């Protein structure tokens, strides 16, 4: 994750939004300007509608996000709209439908914070790493794609007729397909896609650029080349994420969480990532946590002292299989006059399926 909203204090979000670096969750450089111009045009139209509701019908609700969407190694144009909305102080949201600007909203997500302890962290992550490294995963062959299906939801600030409140997108299905080299892919996610059919993630961009995979936007090939010694791996993560996030330790934890969530690391690397996480200061255990679909488990977590948000990786208590992740507010904060209380779930997801398939939009069990 980089220096995005979830790693900053509320007071810093608006001030530093325009200074956000181009990160792995953003589009490649060439596509940023293209979609930023499209976004700004929509924002201008939305502002005009709110200023002159009589000429265009009822003013459409606006949303401001406490954070960028969590899961996305490479998000398409509409995800950039969320990032751009922070810069402009407005985004588009108007009811229901496949268009993200019309995606239904509900009350803010909440949860019980649950008891925490620093005891047993190495032992739990050791068990998790053993499970993560079990068996062998087939290599992704040319023409094949890594398929990841999840369910997710997030909380944000919604503004209607000048009045702001917390709201959330409904729990929804998210599907991602990515080629081994990361240059081809597809995303279906009603929270960010303009069409229910989804949107391409394929490269190169509009200017013909094909960015290289990196720690914030890893391809399968990139992951396969990373060291599997936990000490060397953690050292590399600190090096490659230097200057990102609120603190080096928090950013390292966040980066590992991203790598084990919406990707399919080789088994040996998957194991090493959890062993590396055990070496990060400030990591603790949340005894009871739930993923996005309500599966209960135990979480390995770390508190970002700057933002007051706790990042949790949730595992089955018996099998220690990774279930999903969430970000929970622990300290009360406010933005645009809206209070986010402890227990507010900023983001939550649940991994439903990971597989290697033979084509884009193909799901496990389907023919090519």
Task: Say how many residues make up the chain.
Answer: 368
**Percent share of the chain, pLDDT over 70:** 72
pLDDT of residue 192: 87
Give the distance, in angstroms, between the CA of residue 301 and the centroid of all CA atoms in the same chain.
16
Distance between CA 107 and CA 366 in Å, rounded? 37
Give start and end residues of each alpha helix (H) in the chain: 10-16, 29-51, 53-56, 77-88, 121-132, 220-224, 230-240, 248-261, 267-277
Q: Peptide bond preceding 204: is omega within 30 degrees of 0, i.e. cis?
A: yes
Residue 35 pLDDT exceeds 50: no
pLDDT of residue 271: 96
Residue 242 pLDDT exceeds 70: yes
pLDDT of residue 48: 39
Give the distance, in angstroms, between the CA of residue 286 and the centroid of all CA atoms in the same chain.
20
**Structure confidence by residue, pLDDT tens digits, 114-152:** 899 999 999 999 999 999 998 777 889 889 999 999 999
**Structure confidence by residue, pLDDT tens digits, 83-92:** 333 322 333 2
Residue 34 pLDDT exceeds 70: no
Residue 98 pLDDT exceeds 70: no
Kindly state the tokens that stand for 119: 């005891």
Q: What is the pTM of this model?
A: 0.76
Residue 327 pLDDT exceeds 90: yes
| Mean pLDDT, all residues of the chain | 77
Q: Is 89 left (phi over 0), alpha (psi -120 to 50) or beta?
A: left
DSSP 191-237: TT-SSTT-EE--SS-TTS--PPPBTTB--HHHHHTS--SHHHHHHHH
In this prediction, residue 366 has a pLDDT band, given cuts at 50, 70 and 90, of confident
Cα–Cα distances (Å) from 232 to 238, 245, 249, 280, in that order, read: 10, 21, 15, 13
pLDDT of residue 197: 92
**Structure confidence by residue, pLDDT tens digits, 188-226:** 999 888 888 999 999 887 788 887 899 988 999 999 999
Cα–Cα distances (Å) from 166 to 92, 205, 347, in that order, read: 15, 35, 13
Over residues 249-253, the mean pLDDT reads 97
Residue 8 pLDDT exceeds 70: no
Distance between CA 183 and CA 258 in Å, rounded? 19
> Of 15 and 303, which is predicted with more confidence?
303
Over residues 225-234, the mean pLDDT reads 98
Kindly state the tokens that stand for 95: 């009811």
Of these ranges, 52-61, 66-75, 229-238, the one predicted with the greatest mean pLDDT is 229-238
Over residues 44-72, the mean pLDDT reads 39
Over residues 3-20, the mean pLDDT reads 36
Kindly state the tokens that stand for 14: 């608006």
Q: What angle do CA 14, 248, 239 make, to 5 degrees?
A: 115
Burial readout 144-153 (b: 16 or more C-beta within 10 A, e: otherwise): bbbbbbbbbb
Distance between CA 10 and CA 14 in Å, rounded? 8
């Amino acid at each position: 994750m980089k220096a995005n909203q979830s790693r900053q204090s509320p007071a810093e979000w608006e001030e530093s939004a325009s200074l956000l670096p181009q990160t792995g969750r953003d589009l490649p450089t060439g596509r940023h300007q293209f979609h930023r111009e499209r976004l700004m045009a929509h924002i201008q139209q939305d502002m005009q509608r709110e200023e002159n509701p009589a000429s265009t019908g009822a003013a459409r609700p606006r949303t401001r996000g406490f954070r960028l969407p969590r899961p996305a190694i490479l998000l398409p144009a509409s995800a950039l709209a969320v990032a751009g909305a922070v810069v402009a102080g407005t985004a588009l949201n108007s009811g229901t439908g496949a268009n993200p600007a019309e995606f239904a909203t509900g009350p803010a997500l909440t949860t019980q914070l649950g008891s925490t302890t620093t005891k047993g962290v190495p032992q739990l992550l050791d068990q998790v790493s053993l499970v993560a490294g079990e068996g062998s995963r087939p290599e992704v062959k040319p023409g094949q794609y890594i398929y990841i299906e999840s369910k997710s939801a997030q909380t944000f600030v919604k503004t209607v007729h000048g009045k702001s409140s917390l709201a959330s997108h409904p729990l929804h299905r998210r599907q991602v397909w990515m080629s081994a080299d990361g240059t081809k892919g597809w995303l279906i996610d009603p929270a960010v896609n303009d069409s229910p059919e989804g949107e391409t993630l394929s490269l190169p961009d509009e200017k013909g650029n094909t960015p290289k995979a990196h720690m914030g936007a890893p391809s399968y090939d990139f992951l396969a080349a990373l060291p599997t010694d936990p000490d060397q791996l953690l050292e590399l993560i600190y090096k490659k994420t230097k200057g990102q996030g609120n603190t080096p330790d928090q950013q390292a934890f966040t980066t590992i969480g991203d790598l084990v969530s919406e990707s399919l690391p080789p088994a040996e690397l998957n194991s090493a990532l959890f062993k590396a996480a055990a070496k990060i200061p400030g990591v603790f255990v949340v005894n009871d946590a739930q993923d996005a679909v309500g599966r209960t488990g135990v979480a390995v977590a770390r508190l970002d002292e700057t933002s007051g948000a706790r990042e949790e990786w949730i595992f089955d208590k018996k099998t220690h299989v990774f279930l999903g992740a969430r970000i929970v507010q622990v300290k009360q904060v406010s933005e645009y006059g809206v209070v986010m209380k402890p227990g507010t779930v900023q983001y939550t997801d649940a991994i439903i399926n990971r597989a290697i398939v033979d084509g884009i939009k193909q799901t496990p069990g389907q023919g090519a």
